[in-house]
Structure 1
Amino acid sequence: MAQEIERQDFLALLRRKLTDTESLLDVGCGPCLILDDLPYAHIVALDIHRPYLLNRATKSGHVIPLNADAHAIGRLFVPNSFSAVSFVDSIEHFPKQEALDMLREAETIARKQVIVFTPRGFFPQENVDLYGLNGEVFQMHRSGWEPEEFERMGYEVTIMKGQHDRRNPVFVNTFGADHPPVDALLAIKNL
């Protein structure tokens, strides 16, 4: 059964749930905004949109940018290549079946954990790239997720109540400033 918590710092919650911080494959990393805040010794930051990687927020040596299509992770990486594979604000950018296929591949690539952070339900997003790097086609949301879907696949789910709200310009553009906040899901599968 999913645990519900009030809105809080996503990164602090995630750090508490990590089991092995040797290496991470971050799928759909965008401009790598949070990667310096994660305790992994080695991170491969994979994104299909090269401008995100060229303009990434971190130039840390432990973060290696890889310009590739997420659909190819099963061909790019052998089983047990990383301690963890994450999809932070990225799984919703894929149609449901494609995302499910990638999650299955991630479960073979990761030794310890597969991590997903995504809005709860369908959060419409199109024709927007908050980073101003012409990645609108890659930022479009194509699927929505509920806790039960992840639980059926063996993930432990934390519902972060009200995580998305008027502080997010895309939220305001999509729902309006007076819309009630939308929850987020942190789903982790320990392998």
Structure 2
Amino acid sequence: MNVTWLEREAVPDAIAERVQLADVVLDVGPGIRPQKHVFPLIHICVEPFAPYIERMRESVGDDPRFVFLNSTWQDALAKLPDKSVDSVFALDVIEHLEKDDGLELLRQARRLARRQVMIFTPLGYMPQDYGDTDKKDRWGMEGGYWQTHRSGWEPGDFDDDWSFVACKRYHEVDENDQPLDEPAGALWAFLDLAQDGGTGDAALGAQYRRLRGMYYKRRARRLLPRWMYGGLQRLKNR
């Protein structure tokens, strides 16, 4: 089993090295925070709790890359054809599902992804209960049902095609942002389905940076006053 154990401070670089570039991303259960590991041309967010979608809409503004689907993952993923997206992200998702449902999500993600599936979840079971219907989630919203933990995950729950980055002491606060007695672990799981599009692919990386630069240039031209945009362009060309 391919598991890389790291200290907390070493995790970000290790994750960045493993995430593959993608033009079309399916982001399952993002809550109020769409994934930020890659910058796709199309970013599909599947979120069952409508108030979370409204919060995401506020944060991304009129960014045309985003498509928001107010749906459960079961309904949304069942409607998508095989190999219809480059990458599937499910970050802080499967621990909120019963184990059988989580395994089905992994199967569906494999079916849909052309390039990569990335999962992030606590290492093992991390208690988090919103059984009190009056209890707000950590963002002060009514999403407690969706934030309750129903399963725990370790590398042995995945098949041999997956690789992992793991940290034994990662989560330092609970759902109320209170310090834990002992830090809890975290697990990143990667299913690589195409080997030619990772961050080490220089040609694809250059294309990715060029497209990203073009996108921001178009947005700046549209949103900034003409005098400000012109001034920035003159500074850039000096």
Whether these two folds match at TM > 0.5 is yes
Distance 2:13 2:40 in 1: 14
Which piece of structure 1 moves more, 68-77 or 116-125? 68-77
User: What are the Cα deviations for residues 113-139 of structure 1, in whole angstroms up to 9, with x where unaligned?
Assistant: 111000001111122511222010111
Query: CA 1:9–1:87 in structure 2 vs 1: closer, same or farther (change >3 Å)?
Result: farther
Which piece of structure 1 moves more, 47-56 or 69-78? 69-78
Match of 1:189 in 2: 191
Instruction: Give the SS at the match of 2:168.
Output: strand
Unaligned runs of 5+ in 2: 131-135, 194-238
How far apart are residue 67 of structure 1 and its match? 0.5
Query: CA 1:162–1:79 in structure 2 vs 1: closer, same or farther (change >3 Å)?
Result: same
Match of 1:51 in 2: 51
User: What are the Cα deviations for residues 7-54 of structure 1, in whole angstroms up to 9, with x where unaligned?
Assistant: 0376554332122311110100101x2535532222101100000000
The TM-score normalised by the length of structure 2 is 0.71
Q: Which amino acid aligns with 1:113?
A: Q
User: What are the Cα deviations for residues 45-85 of structure 1, in whole angstroms up to 9, with x where unaligned?
Assistant: 11000000001132332122111111124322111111011
Distance 1:138 1:44 in 2: 19
Among the aligned pairs, what percent are the same residue? Answer: 28
Q: How does 1:147-162 map to 2 (within 5 A)?
A: 147-150=155-158, 152-162=159-169
Q: Which one has a bigger Cα radius of gyration? A: 2
Unaligned runs of 5+ in 1: none
Matched, 1:78 2:62: no
Match of 2:111 in 1: 108
Contact 1:160/1:184 (<8 A) preserved:
yes
Q: Which amino acid aligns with 2:43?
A: I
How far apart are residue 169 of structure 1 and its match? 4.2
Distance 1:41 1:15 in 2: 19
Q: Which amino acid aligns with 2:111?
A: T
Q: How does 1:110-149 map to 2 (within 5 A)?
A: 110-127=113-130, 128-149=136-157
Query: CA 1:71–1:158 in structure 2 vs 1: closer, same or farther (change >3 Å)?
Result: same
Residue 171 of structure 2, aligned match among 164, 170, 181: 164
Query: CA 1:10–1:41 in structure 2 vs 1: closer, same or farther (change >3 Å)?
Result: farther
The TM-score normalised by the length of structure 1 is 0.87
Contact 2:4/2:164 (<8 A) preserved:
yes
Query: CA 1:27–1:94 in structure 2 vs 1: closer, same or farther (change >3 Å)?
Result: same
Q: How does 1:86-97 map to 2 (within 5 A)?
A: 86-97=89-100
Contact 2:8/2:167 (<8 A) preserved:
yes
Q: Which amino acid aligns with 1:120?
A: L
Query: CA 1:105–1:178 in structure 2 vs 1: closer, same or farther (change >3 Å)?
Result: closer
Query: CA 1:55–1:171 in structure 2 vs 1: closer, same or farther (change >3 Å)?
Result: closer
Contact 1:73/1:106 (<8 A) preserved:
no
Distance 1:86 1:190 in 2: 12
Distance 2:165 2:43 in 1: 24
Residue 179 of structure 1, aligned match among 173, 176, 181: 181
Which piece of structure 1 moves more, 19-28 or 1-10? 1-10
